[in-house]
Structure 1
């Protein structure tokens, strides 16, 4: 048996825009279905919202997303509270999305695209544990860690 874990992001009216953005960042294929596609009446305020969406890229990237039906704003509008202090991450967020690649050039290109409209928490660059590391909160409020795999040298 084979299984994999895929992040499933929950939005409040922004799922389509987020999926289209992630498609452009990761050069993936987007699949988007709306509540209306599944039979919700067109006059419903949620009919055009995303009931199922995903982006799958040839490089292994995959993410899913949908819009929670109802209000277009999340219950809490507080900005993510993640910050870096003295080389450590301080946060109240329940999760981050991590993207790890093999080269600084490969991951750096993803960083540049994902950083468009983002709040940078820590600039992408060399780190003690990796050839490169960076952290940001994207334009949709999702916090990402991007890093380059360190070469493992057995002791």
Structure 2
């Protein structure tokens, strides 16, 4: 599998621009590219998009630190996730606290940020967009 790269591609079911702005504020995300369905050089096949999705995000690329993630509104309203979490490894407890607090705003904490046998701070949460996160201080 030489040269293969795996990148998360998150579907936000109509809330992509809102999510990108949230991650920009909460995590310092940088949006590298954003294209709406209406800006595509080829029209979407008839019936593929719900009414009003022309102004939604067809594709976006953004960075959190050195990590590149991709995102879209997908082709339907709403989105449910299970079985996957995005994990953020940080160097300090202050940084862990800041990210955890920011991401949990409007979300739900599954495991409060606390000492774990492998880390001085570890916590798990689901943000307001239904994305599961793990925050971990690497020692």
Which category describes the TM-score, using the shorter chain as reference length? 0.7 to 0.9
Evaluate the alpha carbon distance shift between residue 121 and residue 130 of structure 1 in structure 2; reply closer, same or farther with a 3 A threshold: same
Aligned to 2:100: 111
8 Å CA contact 1:19–1:54 kept in 2: the answer is: no
Evaluate the alpha carbon distance shift between residue 2 and residue 103 of structure 1 in structure 2; reply closer, same or farther with a 3 A threshold: farther
Distance in 1, Cα, partners of 2:95 & 2:73: 31
TM-score, structure 2 normalization: 0.82
Aligned to 1:126: 115
Structure with more contact order per residue of length (Cα contacts < 8 Å, sep ≥ 6)? 2
Shift of 1:28: 2.2
Aligned to 1:36: 38
Distance in 1, Cα, partners of 2:22 & 2:62: 10
Q: For structure 1, list consecutive stretches of 5 or more residues without a partner in the other structure.
A: 81-92, 151-155
Aligned counterpart for 2:124 among listed residues 135, 138, 147: 135
Residues paired across the two proteins, number = 130
Aligned to 1:153: none
Question: Could you list the runs of 4 or more consecutive aligned residues of structure 1 that deviate by over 3 angstroms after TM superposition?
Answer: 1-4
Shift of 1:18: 1.0
Shift of 1:3: 5.2
Distance in 1, Cα, partners of 2:116 & 2:35: 40
Bigger helix fraction:
2
